[in-house]
């Protein structure tokens, strides 16, 4: 197992466009988290899945954001009608009940 | 709500110097505490953790003690190396927050030869 994988690593998009990111967690991990990290800040929690159920969403997750984990394996995070303020690093982490969180390398989004 | 406060960086030290990065927290209940490290160009990695008061987490020469009376979890290393240059994040995890991690802003450390 090579760890948590995120794709793409970098995404540049024009304001108003939709973008989708993918996260492939460590295979035996049933818990999956999305975070957002802006320059000079720590990661901020966005949403949490246990298997395919989305159990918690942060107030940071506006209506333009949606996340899915359809079969309890990989997850996608979609941002609709992107804004410049959405520019950030989007991090995915996974864990099992008996482990701590393992993070992917993130997807860096730049909205121009 | 829960929060983590770290000392601001950047911190610049000479090789073999003693390192302390301060971290204090505000939380209800009994959170678990963590230090994560982010090396240049890499993802966040767990450095060490402590799950209850007076526990000491340690790894790679780093250590931190969970002090409930001072709500602190300061990171220390006796002799830093150039390879320790990275950004260090203090974090907490509480059962009342879906077990998501709540991070501080991070402290950048640069160790010079």
Could you tell me if A25 lies within 8 Å of chain B, comparing CB atoms?
no
Residues 6+ apart with CB under 8 A from B88: B6, B21, B35, B36, B37, B38, B47, B75, B106, B107, B108, B109
Residues of B in contact with A105 (CB under 8 A): 42-43
The more confidently predicted of residues B38 and A60 is: B38
What CA–CA distance (Å, rounded) separates B5 from A111? Answer: 29
Task: Give how far Cα A76 sits from Cα of A30, A33, A109, Å.
Answer: 15, 11, 14
CA angle A54, A55, A60 (to 5 degrees): 85
> From the list A42, A100, A101, which residue is nearest B105 (CB)?
A42
CA angle B50, B52, B54 (to 5 degrees): 85
- Which chain A residues are Cβ-neighbours of B4 within 8 angstroms? 42
Nearest CA to B88 out of A42, A89, A38 is that of A42
Q: In chain A, which residue's Cα lies nearest the Cα of B96?
A: A56
Min Cα distance A98 → chain B (Å) is 12
SS3 state of residue B95: helix
**pLDDT tens for residues A6-21?**
999 999 999 999 999 9
Question: What is the rounded average pLDDT of the residues A67-95?
Answer: 96
With a cut of 50, list the residues of chain B below it in pLDDT: none
CA distance A95 to chain B (A): 10
Looking at beta carbons, which residues of chain B come within 8 Å of A90? Answer: none
Query: In this model, does residue A106 exceed pLDDT 60?
Result: yes
């Amino acid at each position: 197992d090579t760890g948590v994988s995120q794709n793409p690593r970098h995404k540049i998009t024009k304001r108003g466009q939709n973008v989708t990111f993918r996260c492939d967690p460590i295979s035996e991990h049933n818990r999956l988290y999305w975070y957002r990290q802006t320059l000079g800040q720590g990661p901020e929690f966005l949403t949490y899945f246990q298997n395919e159920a989305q159990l918690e969403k942060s107030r940071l997750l506006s209506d333009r954001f949606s996340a899915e984990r359809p079969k309890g394996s990989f997850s996608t995070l979609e941002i609709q009608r992107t804004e410049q303020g959405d520019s950030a690093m989007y991090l995915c982490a996974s864990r099992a009940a008996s482990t701590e969180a393992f993070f992917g390398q993130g997807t860096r989004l730049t909205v121009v | 709500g829960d929060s983590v406060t770290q000392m601001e960086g950047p911190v610049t030290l000479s090789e073999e110097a003693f390192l302390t990065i301060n971290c204090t927290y505000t939380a209800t209940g009994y959170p678990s505490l963590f230090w994560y490290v982010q090396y240049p160009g890499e993802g966040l990695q767990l450095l060490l953790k402590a799950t209850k008061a007076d526990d000491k987490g340690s790894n790679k020469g780093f250590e931190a003690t969970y002090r409930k009376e001072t709500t602190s979890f300061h990171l220390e290393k006796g002799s830093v190396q150039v390879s320790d240059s990275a950004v260090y994040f203090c974090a907490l995890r509480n059962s009342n927050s879906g077990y998501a991690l709540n991070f501080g802003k991070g402290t950048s450390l640069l160790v010079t030869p």
